Amino acid sequence: MNDILTRYTSEVEATIQTILGETTPFLQGVVRYHFGWVDQTFQPSRQGRGKMLRPTLHLLVFEALTGGYQAALPVAAALEMIHNFSLLHDDIEDDGRERRGQATAWTIWGMPRVLNVGDFLFTMAFKAIYQLDHKHFSSEQILAVAKLMAEASVALTEGQDLDINFEHLTAVSPDMYFNMVSKKTGALIEAAILAGARLGTTDETTIKNYHEFAHHLGIAFQIQDDILGIWGDTAKTGKSVKDDLRQKKKTLPVIYTLSQAKGAQAKQLADCYANTEPLTDVQIEFVRGCLDASKAQAYTRHMAMQYRDQAFTALHRIKLANEAQTALETIAKYLVDREK
């Protein structure tokens, strides 16, 4: 799995470095810190690096369809920059103080400057897209990819807004949840896979199947993230298992448990989520007991498997037999089975 996830890393990172160009040292430094390339003093480091999942999915699809990947590197770089712009802002919005095992950027350099760094990354992502070579791609293809990225960016910010709003709602239905995660998490995964397909083929049936694969995979990925947010190993995830519960995030396990609780337990659980104050450690332990009693982990895992199976059904309709397509299936399985 590590070989697949690092397959394109050095070239994607080099592409990002080139796109960042000769901007101010501070902007460069914070971006590099957030990516895990340097430490707080802007000296070289390898701690806190992300998985580069979205660029990898994008390049695997493009390579499966064309036999190569270098021509699509600008979009891979754009995807990683958009993803990390959203993380920089999310950490502020969620009061997140640790990511990937290190302090979040805003806790070091403050909200105003890090918000601006996020804006910078977002803008540079669209600059990257227009570095696609017209020798390889038509103007229509490049415009289609730019549109995909813009739509995904709108969706992920809408999804974040829904997620924040859910913290203050007493009743969140599964349908509301799936709509939220298909935007907050799924939109950029869909864009990654669909952009690879759009650049790699003009066959609409193939593109449709990749799109369906991406949609279901994005939801399965977020459901697994919900599991790790409550039952994961902090040493592996780099995130406290109390954070999501403390912030009253309406993740799928919590939504399910709220719907299953009865009697006095239901009232006490509802009371925990009835105000805007973060949960205390005592309340967190009570909610954990409710999650265990409702068998929320088993239910959530079952839902992740359902979406994964639907993703594979769509993927298997694409009759490609090559190394990149096989790697794409491997990474899809990993995303729903991962421990970090």
What average pLDDT values come out for the chain (340 residues) when binned by 10 residues?
A: 92 94 92 95 87 95 98 98 96 89 95 97 95 94 96 96 86 92 95 98 96 96 94 82 89 95 93 89 96 96 95 96 95 87
Summarize pLDDT for 108-145 with one digit per residue, the tens.
Answer: 999 999 999 999 999 999 999 999 999 999 999 999 99
CATH number at residue 312: 1.10.600.10
Distance (Å, rounded) from C-alpha 81 to C-alpha 78?
Answer: 5
pLDDT of residue 168: 81
Domain count, the chain: 1
pLDDT of residue 333: 92
pLDDT of residue 235: 81
In angstroms, the Cα distances linking 202 to 15, 198, 314 are 26, 7, 18
pLDDT of residue 162: 94
Q: Any idea which residue has 């694409």 for tokens? A: 318
Go through 237-267 and write b for each residue having 16 or more CB atoms within 10 A of its CB, e for each that does not. bbbebbbbbbbbbbbbbbbbbbebbeeebee
Instruction: Tell me which amino acid residue 80 is.
Output: E
pLDDT of residue 51: 86
Range of the domain at 165: 2-337
